[in-house]
Amino acid sequence: MKKIILLLMLSAVVFSCKNSEEKNKETEETTIENVENAENLKAYKGDFIDSNGSLVLMGSNFIYGVKRDALSEQLSKQVAAVKKEDFDMVGVIVRGVVSKNTDSDSEWEEIITIKEIMRVNDKPSEVDIKLDETAKKK
């Protein structure tokens, strides 16, 4: 009788340890996924423009379409308050995730989904080339 009770207790201990190992593996996998998601979240510095419904973020070595959502709309409103003309671009720093574009209506190969607005400049970016609209026509 003692052998049967001992055997039952031993098997209960073995099965309970096995379940805790599986739970630990699930917790580790979730933690790894969260770390990978945090690593994909990078800071991007560039000029933001909202032109004819298209949202664009242009940096020194990249140009991305911006996914339209509540955060990008908030950024667009902040930029609209700063810009003086319709086609002014405003310097911003945002955190986001760049991914391949799956929307067939959009022309962009890659789009950025903004996750955090870090900074919006208080004046529009300087224009590289400015056209003189007051020039006389002959």
What per-residue confidence (pLDDT) applies to 28? Answer: 47
HEC string of the chain equals CHHHHHHHHHHHHHHHHHHHHHHHHHHHHHHHHHHHHHHHCEEEEEEEEEECCEEEEECCCCEEEECCCHHHHHHHHHHHHHCCCCCCCEEEEEEEEEEECCCCCCCCCEEEEEEEEEEEEEEECCCCCCCCCCCCCC
Decide which of 78 and 106 is more confident. Answer: 78
Per-residue pLDDT of 18-77, as tens digits, reads: 544 445 445 444 444 444 455 568 899 999 998 777 899 999 899 999 998 999 999 999
Task: Give the pLDDT mean for 8-19.
Answer: 63
pTM of full prediction above 0.85: no
What per-residue confidence (pLDDT) applies to 132? Answer: 59
Per-residue pLDDT of 63-83, as tens digits, reads: 999 998 999 999 999 998 988
What per-residue confidence (pLDDT) applies to 131? Answer: 55
Please give the mean pLDDT across all residues of the chain: 76
Domain ranges of the chain: 1-40, 43-124
Topology of the domain covering 43-124: OB fold (Dihydrolipoamide Acetyltransferase, E2P) (2.40.50)
Please give the angle made by the CA atoms of 120, 116 and 128, to the nearest 5 degrees.
35
- The model's confidence at residue 94, banded by pLDDT at 50, 70 and 90, is very high
